[in-house]
Amino acid sequence: MKLCLPNVSLRPLVFAAALGAASAVHAAGEADVKKSIEAFIGAPAVEAVTRTPYGGLYEVLLKNGQLVYTDESTSFIIDGSVIDTKTRKDVTQARLNQLSAIDFSTLPLEQAIKQVKGNGKRVIATFEDPNCGYCKRLGKELAQMDDVTIYTFLYPILSQDSTVKSNNIWCAKDKAKAWNDWIVDGREPGKASCDVATVEKNVALGQKLRITGTPTIFLADGTRIGGYVPAAELEKALSGVKPK
């Protein structure tokens, strides 16, 4: 996953050495698995529990958006991906994509930098930090695309300098130009001042949407793409978006 992440641990430390450490109390079903896992964590951290068709495993969705797995008696916890050997599909990632989809219509697009390329019929929204190397790579890929409308939410989570750059870009006379000058061409945004509450709102919005790294991309059907993807891969994803 090609994401820029803040310099903090985003995974619960409680799972670092969880194998074999969970409660040995037998759990009769999903509700009991939830109860047992929360007893092990010591907090009401479980969003949902679902039995999977893989080896008697239970999928445990945590409230921070993380997926882990356990067995019926919660005798162990697996913190990693389940791969279907027949299809070679990353079942965990596919499930996370499903769970992390959003209602695109609820995004406050007025808080984003808008760029219309060609007819602009295809629509994406991105959450990006100006100091994210993968965002710079994505910017160069997006520059090659046509017939797309791009909404860029400035999402400074990597450093204080990210906030400074985001504020200067948002306050620029031509926001889209200032963003592309920096993210594509490396020309630092000039100092500018205005009401930067929008950038602060974007950070709060991103946290609400459980965006922990940049870039994060949303397609018009709500599909989330976590991390940098090349233009060809993004084109393929866009082709699968059904028109409303």
List pLDDT tens digits, range 134-143: 999 999 999 9
CATH architecture of 104-239: 3-Layer(aba) Sandwich (3.40)
What integer pLDDT is reported at residue 14 of this predicted model?
42
What integer pLDDT is reported at residue 7 of this predicted model?
65
Work out the average pLDDT over 48-64: 92
Read off the pLDDT band of 63 (50, 70, 90): confident
Helix (H) and strand (E) counts in the chain = 7, 11
What integer pLDDT is reported at residue 20 of this predicted model?
41
Half-sphere exposure of 102 (CA within 13 A, CB side): 22
* Tokens encoding 20: 């074999």
Chain segment 101-131, per-residue pLDDT in tens: 999 999 999 999 999 999 999 999 999 999 9
What integer pLDDT is reported at residue 22 of this predicted model?
42
Would you put residue 101 in left (φ > 0), alpha (ψ -120 to 50) or beta?
beta
The residues with which 116 forms a beta bridge, in sequence order, are 149
Q: Please state the domain extents for the chain.
A: 13-99, 104-239
Q: Which long-range contacts (CB under 8 A, 24 or more apart) does 156-161 make?
A: 156/129, 156/130, 156/131, 156/199, 156/203, 157/6, 157/129, 157/203, 157/206, 157/214, 158/4, 158/6, 158/7, 158/129, 158/131, 158/132, 158/214, 159/131, 161/131
From the list 195, 189, 197, the residue with the least C-alpha distance to 162 is 189
The residues with which 127 forms a beta bridge, in sequence order, are 153, 216
Would you put residue 136 in left (φ > 0), alpha (ψ -120 to 50) or beta?
alpha
Entry pTM? 0.77
From the list 167, 177, 79, 88, the residue with the least C-alpha distance to 130 is 167
Residue 232 has pLDDT above 70, yes or no: yes
Chain segment 141-175, per-residue pLDDT in tens: 999 999 999 999 999 999 999 999 999 999 999 99
Distance CA 37, CA 60 (A): 9
CATH architecture of 13-99: Roll (3.10)
What integer pLDDT is reported at residue 93 of this predicted model?
82
Chain segment 167-222, per-residue pLDDT in tens: 999 999 999 999 999 999 999 999 999 999 999 999 999 999 989 899 999 999 99
Q: Give the contacts of 218 (CB within 8 A, at least 6 positions apart).
A: 102, 104, 107, 124, 125, 126, 224, 225
Read off the pLDDT band of 98 (50, 70, 90): confident
Helix or strand holding residue 196 (H, E): none
By the 8 A CB rule, do 132 and 158 touch? yes
Read off the pLDDT band of 16 (50, 70, 90): very low
